[in-house]
C-alpha cells in the first residue's frame, strides 16, 4: 500500500483517479478547495477507511506524509479558469511550488497534470511532445496556457536541481461522467443542450477539430505514467488520436440522444485553437498505453450520466457542496 495525495481530487478527473487508486489498495489523501471540485464527486468514497478528504487550497503549503503526489489542482475549463485569471496563475505556479516542495520533503514521486493547451493554436499537426507550440501570452486563455507551461518549467527545474522524481503528462480533451454540466466544454455543452432540446451552439464554422479521450482511459494513462521508472519523466501526451470536427461531434450527439435541437453557429473566439490531435507514440512505447474506449461508447455512457443528473434537477446547482 502506498500513501498517495491527489491534489484536485474532488474534480472530474481527480475523483475518478481517487476511486481507481482506492481500488488498487492504496491509502488516498484527496486535497481540494472545492472551487470547481464538488463533494458529490467523492461522496461514495468518504466512508472508506483508506480515503482521507482534506479541504485545502494548494496555494498554501500542505504537510502530509505521502509516497506519491498527483497534482491535478487547477480549473480546467475556460468558463472556470477565466473567472479569476490571477488566481488561476497562482494555483498553477504557487500550487506547483508547494507540491514540489512537499515532494522534496517526502522524497515522493510527483506527477503533474499538464495540458495540450501548452501547444496553443498549433501550426504543426498532429502534435508530438517535441513541438514547442504557438502561444499568445496575452490572450484570454493565457492564464491557463502559460500557467501550465510555467509548471512544466518548474518541474524540470526541480528535477535538474534537486533530483526530484517527476512525471509530466500532457492531457488532451477528456470527457465522461462527473463532468460539470455548465463547465463550457464542448461535449458537456452539446449533450446538455441536446437533452434539454435547446439550440446546440457551435463556435465558428464547426470545422475545427478535437480528439476526445474517455476518462477511464485517461486515468489509466496517468497511473501507468506514475509507475514508470524514475528515468522516464515525460512530458508524455495522454489522449485519443481519433480526430473529429466539432460539427461532426454535434451531429453524432444529436443522433445518440434522438434530439431535435437546432445547430446554431456563433462567432469563433479569437484564441480558440483550430485543431488538436495527439501523437501518442511515447505513451504506447513507454507506458504500453493507448485508449480503449471508442467515442461512440464513451458518449453513450456520458449521455446516461447527464440524463440522470438532469432528471434529478442537476445543473448549475451541482456545484453546491
Q: Catalytic residues, which ones?
A: 144
DSSP 268: P
CA 185 → CA 72, 193, 309, distances in Å? 17, 12, 17
Give me 31's grid cell: 486535497
Number of Cβ within a 10 Å radius of residue 28: 27
Nearest CA to 177 out of 34, 24, 318 is that of: 318
CA distance 52 to 27: 8
Are 155 and 118 a contacting pair, CB within 8 Å? Answer: no
Measured over the CA atoms of residue 240, residue 32, residue 112 and residue 117, the dihedral's sign is positive
d(CA 320, CA 316): 8
Q: Is 210 helix (H, G, I), strand (E, B) or coil?
A: strand
Q: Is the peptide bond before 235 cis (omega within 30 degrees of 0)?
A: yes
DSSP state of 14: H
Q: What's the burial of 283, exposed, middle or buried (CB within 10 Å: 0-12/13-18/19+)? A: buried
Nearest to 13 by CA among 183, 162, 149, 150: 183
Q: Can you read off the three cell numbers belonging to residue 87? A: 488566481
Amino acid at each position: 500500500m502506498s500513501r498517495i495525495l491527489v491534489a484536485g481530487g474532488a474534480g472530474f478527473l481527480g475523483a475518478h483517479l481517487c476511486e481507481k487508486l482506492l481500488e488498487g489498495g492504496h491509502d488516498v489523501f484527496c486535497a481540494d478547495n472545492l472551487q470547481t471540485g464538488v463533494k458529490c464527486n467523492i461522496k461514495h468514497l468518504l466512508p472508506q477507511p483508506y480515503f482521507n478528504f482534506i479541504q485545502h487550497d494548494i496555494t498554501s503549503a500542505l504537510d502530509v506524509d505521502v509516497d506519491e503526489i498527483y497534482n491535478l489542482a487547477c480549473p480546467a475549463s475556460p468558463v472556470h479558469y477565466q473567472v479569476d485569471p490571477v488566481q488561476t496563475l497562482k494555483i498553477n505556479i504557487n500550487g506547483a511550488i508547494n507540491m514540489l516542495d512537499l515532494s522534496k520533503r517526502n522524497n515522493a514521486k510527483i506527477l503533474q497534470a499538464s495540458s495540450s493547451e501548452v501547444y496553443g493554436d498549433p501550426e504543426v499537426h498532429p502534435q508530438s511532445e517535441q513541438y514547442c507550440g504557438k502561444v499568445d501570452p496575452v490572450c484570454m486563455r493565457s492564464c491557463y496556457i502559460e500557467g501550465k507551461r510555467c509548471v512544466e518549467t518548474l518541474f524540470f527545474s526541480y528535477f535538474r536541481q534537486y533530483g526530484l522524481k517527476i512525471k509530466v503528462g500532457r492531457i488532451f480533451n477528456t470527457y465522461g461522467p462527473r463532468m460539470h454540466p455548465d463547465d463550457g466544454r464542448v461535449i458537456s455543452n452539446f449533450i446538455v443542450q441536446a437533452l434539454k432540446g435547446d439550440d446546440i451552439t457551435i463556435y465558428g464554422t464547426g470545422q475545427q477539430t478535437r480528439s476526445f479521450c474517455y476518462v477511464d482511459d485517461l486515468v489509466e494513462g496517468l497511473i501507468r505514467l506514475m509507475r514508470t521508472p524514475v528515468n522516464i519523466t515525460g512530458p508524455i501526451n495522454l489522449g485519443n488520436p481519433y480526430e473529429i470536427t466539432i460539427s461532426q461531434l454535434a451531429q453524432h450527439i444529436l443522433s445518440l440522444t434522438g434530439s431535435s435541437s437546432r445547430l446554431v453557429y456563433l462567432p469563433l473566439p479569437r484564441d480558440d485553437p483550430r485543431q488538436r490531435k495527439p501523437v501518442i507514440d511515447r505513451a504506447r512505447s513507454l507506458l504500453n498505453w493507448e485508449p480503449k474506449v471508442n467515442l461512440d461508447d464513451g458518449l453513450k455512457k456520458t449521455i446516461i450520466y447527464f440524463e440522470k443528473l438532469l432528471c434529478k434537477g442537476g445543473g448549475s446547482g451541482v456545484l453546491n457542496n
